[in-house]
A = this chain, B = another copy of it.
Amino acid sequence: MSRKEKAPGASSRGATLKESSHIHSQDRRSFLRGGTLLAGATVASAAGLTGARAQRLEIPPSGKEMGHIIEAEAYGMPSKFEAKVKRRRTDVLVNKQNWSDWSMTPLQSQLGIVTPNGLFFERHHAGVPDIDPDHHVLVIHGMVKQPLKFSMSDLMRYPSVSKFHFLECSGNGLTDWTKAASKTVQQSHGLLSCAQWTGVPLATLLDEAGVDPAAKWALFEGADGSTHARSIPMDKVLADTLLVWGQNGEMLRPEQGYPLRAFVPGWEGNVSVKWLRRVKIGDQPWHLRSETARYTDPMPEGKWRQFSFMMECKSVITRPSGGMKLQGPGSYEIEGFAWSGNGSIKAVDVTLDGGKNWREARLEEPALDKCLTRFRYTWNWDGGPAKIASRAVDSTGYVQPTVSDIAKARALVGFVQHHNGVFPWSIGQDGEVKNAIV
């Protein structure tokens, strides 16, 4: 039982939002009085049934068989009935080689704000290495008084912190700027996940190494076959960058950098270098290929912007979303996520008419810094065509822009990164929900 992704038109349990209810009990009572859509099917119409009389109603049968016993030392898995809730390799931008690859989180099925580790999106440039933590070493060197090296057990002795933060690939949404290429929110926004990360502030280790006052940048480099590396400004390194070994209560998953990754809160995913083997301190960026040919933003007049690290404030409706189908007029619960690399979410507005009018959605606590925040809005659909979208505002006052707002400042050519535009879904009279970005 889940909100599964389905092809448009297919019967979908998650999509058959044919009935809903209001959130205020007064509304709910009016709903009943109207004799229209009941959220629960009435099993007896007479009011005032006693407990004794109700017992004559059909109670669902109890299981008659013994269930599965506990496997000694098993690591638990989802129900077999949830087999379709999986991360998926790209199916919009076809990738015919497997080494530099990515998979996407099924956001249409995600509940709460924590992405299960087994569904956390993946992105890597040379496959996932199998690193033995007993032999993994991190070196801190460069413009420091005292170069240091650490085993994993050295690092795990430090006072650690655990923080909830989203992680988003800078390329999330790149197929859907000027055409509606993605059918589902997994395809359009699934390079986004959220976890509680555990590790040590890099500032703690650098304080021990003694950073040269002239240092301005740090290099993070991975131990995987691609030796992926990025240059990070010292201010961010010292502000809140972590070296993490934990993800949602357990050690990092291999595809998330086991046994050690950088974690740069709120910045594009590729700077949170995985399988981290060294941090080098310098006085200027390294201008690596990942900083000149990749992970740059095209600008007007043929210029390219380097080092646009920040994942700006963004939101998306995950339910109803592309591929789902509404089952006729009635009350529906609109739900989605909002997040900002610059702080916490202060408000989310929802439009039902393609941006003419906006209404404030409800935010769910805790609304944490640089973390997914859930919003909800109860909508009475009249059965006519509609165009729904969300627009988030973060704690700096920044308002999520539309694609046309972004197009005024940047050039939309090639594989354009950093798509934080408002993302609309259209609802047809048949109830089908489709990508309506253009």
Which residues 137-163 in A have Cβ within 8 Å of B in the complex?
Answer: 137-154, 156-162
Q: Which listed residue (B65, B116, B251, B366) contacts A366, Cβ 8 A? A: B366
Contact stretch, chosen from A73-81, A174-182, A385-393, A396-404: A73-81
Q: Which of B87, B129, B253, B280 contacts A51 (CB 8 A)?
A: B280
**Complex contact B134–A79 (CB within 8 A):** no
Beta-carbon contact of B120 and A76 below 8 Å: yes
Complex Cα distance, B62 from A222, in Å, reads: 7
Contacts of A315 in B (CB 8 A): none
Asked if A98 lies at the interface with its beta carbon under 8 angstroms from chain B, I say yes
Return the contact of A116 from the options B41, B150, B250 (Cβ within 8 A): B250
Specify the chain B residue showing the minimal Cβ separation from A278: B59
| Bound-complex Cα distance A18 to B153 (A) | 9
* Cross-chain contact A112 with B246 (CB below 8 angstroms): yes
Interface size class of A (residues with CB under 8 A): 35 or more
Q: Are B63 and A224 in contact (CB under 8 A)?
A: yes
**Of residues A17, A119, A159, A281, which shows the largest number of chain B Cβ atoms within 10 Å of its Cβ?**
A159
Residue with the highest number of chain B CB atoms closer than 10 Å, among A141, A258, A281: A141
Residue pair B158, A76 in contact (C-beta under 8 Å): no
Whether a CB of chain B sits under 8 angstroms from the CB of A2 is yes
Contacts of A170 in B (CB 8 A): none
B118 touches A75 (CB 8 A): yes
Chain B residues near A248 (CB-CB < 8 A): 112, 114, 116, 248
In A181-211, which residues have CB < 8 Å from any B CB? 196-198, 204-205, 207-210
In the assembly, what is the distance between CA of A390 and CA of B110, in Å? 36
A44 at the interface (CB under 8 A from B): yes
A438 interface residue per 8 A CB criterion: no
Question: Is there a chain B Cβ closer than 8 Å to A20's Cβ?
Answer: yes
Chain B residues near A196 (CB, 8 Å)? Answer: 112-114
Q: How far is the CB of A141 from chain B (nearest CB, A)?
A: 4
With contacts A66-B99, A69-B127 known, is A114 near B114, CB below 8 A? yes
In the complex, which residue of chain B has the Cβ closest to the Cβ of A332?
Answer: B157
Q: Are A147 and B223 in contact (CB under 8 A)?
A: no
Q: Contacts A74-B87, A99-B66; is A51 near B146 (CB within 8 Å)? A: no
Q: Are B80 and A130 in contact (CB under 8 A)?
A: yes
Q: Does A128 contact B (CB under 8 A)?
A: yes
Give the most central of A82, A245, A332: most B CB within 10 Å. A82
Nearest CB of B to A171, in Å = 15
Flag if A159 contacts B23 (CB, 8 Å): yes
> Closest CB-CB distance, A28 to chain B, in whole Å?
6
- Alpha-carbon distance A156/B19, docked complex (angstroms): 10
State whether the Cβ of A10 lies closer than 8 Å to any Cβ in chain B. no
| Assembly CA distance A44 to B149 (angstroms) | 10
Q: Chain A 76-99 against B: per-residue CB contact (8 Å), 1 yes, 0 no?
A: 111111100111110000000011
Taken together as a complex, chains A and B put the C-alpha atoms of A87 and B48 apart, in Å, by: 48
**B55 and A141: CB pair below 8 A?**
yes
Contact of A249 among B58, B115, B146, B283 (CB under 8 A): B115
- A302 at the binding interface (Cβ < 8 Å): no
**Least Cβ–Cβ distance between A170 and chain B, in angstroms:** 19
28 A-B contacts (beta carbon < 8 Å) = A1-B258, A13-B134, A13-B153, A20-B158, A21-B157, A21-B159, A23-B159, A25-B204, A25-B207, A40-B140, A40-B148, A41-B149, A41-B150, A42-B148, A43-B147, A49-B147, A57-B141, A58-B139, A59-B278, A63-B129, A68-B129, A68-B254, A70-B255, A80-B130, A85-B251, A112-B197, A112-B248, A157-B333
- 10 more CB-based (< 8 A) A-B contacts, given A41-B148, A72-B88, A110-B250: A13-B133, A23-B159, A39-B158, A39-B208, A40-B208, A51-B143, A66-B99, A67-B127, A157-B332, A162-B364
